[in-house]
């Protein structure tokens, strides 16, 4: 018996009538990294440019089952979690960014460049900005345009 039985293939007509979010929910595996805390040189205000701030990242990658069904239980058959961590670390290492929006958009573009990733949901949160709140942040959701 294979490690992961192949999920049933959707009928081609069914895919044509499904909205993109339903298609993702039915036909993709969701890979996630939660609460990844990284020191980031980020902020538009002068006091934010003095030192790095803690930023908490949450990432969800949507990968079609057809591209992530391990047959031999090997890491090379799936999207590796280390890929997610490395993309964030490499981007943060490039230097100061003013806005979380800019950072999230750039990271989303980098995640979508992976050939197996169909969509990404990504959030960043700066937990130390206001003493009376748990954090301030941004969330983006982006999909590849598969019609192009």
Model pLDDT for residues 81-124, shown as the tens digit of each residue: 999 999 999 999 999 999 999 999 999 999 999 999 999 999 99
Q: Cα separation of 37 and 108, whole Å?
A: 17
Find the range with the poorest average confidence among 47-51, 102-106, 113-117, 144-148.
144-148
Which pLDDT score is estimated for 148? Answer: 52
Show me where the domains of the chain are located: 12-143
Which residue is listed with tokens 């969330």? 139
Q: Cα separation of 59 and 54, whole Å?
A: 16
Burial call 85-122: b when 16+ CB within 10 Å, e when fewer: eebbeebbeeeebeebeebbeebbebbbebebbbbbbb
Which residue is listed with tokens 């019609």? 147
Domain 12-143: which CATH number of 3.30.1130.10, 3.30.750.24, 3.40.50.300, 3.30.590.20: 3.30.1130.10
């Amino acid at each position: 018996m294979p490690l992961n039985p192949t999920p049933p293939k959707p009928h081609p007509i069914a895919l044509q009538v499904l909205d993109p979010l339903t298609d993702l929910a039915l036909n993709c595996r969701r890979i996630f990294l939660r609460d990844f805390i990284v020191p980031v040189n980020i902020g538009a205000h002068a006091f934010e440019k003095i030192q790095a701030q803690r930023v908490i990242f949450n990432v969800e990658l949507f990968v079609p089952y057809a591209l992530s069904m391990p047959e031999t239980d090997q890491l090379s058959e799936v999207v590796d979690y280390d890929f997610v961590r490395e993309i964030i670390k490499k981007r943060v290492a490039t230097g100061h960014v003013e806005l979380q929006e800019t950072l999230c958009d750039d990271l989303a573009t980098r995640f979508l460049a992976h050939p197996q990733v169909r969509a990404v949901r990504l959030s960043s949160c700066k937990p130390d900005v206001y003493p009376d709140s748990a954090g301030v942040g941004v969330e983006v959701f982006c999909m590849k345009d598969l019609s192009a």
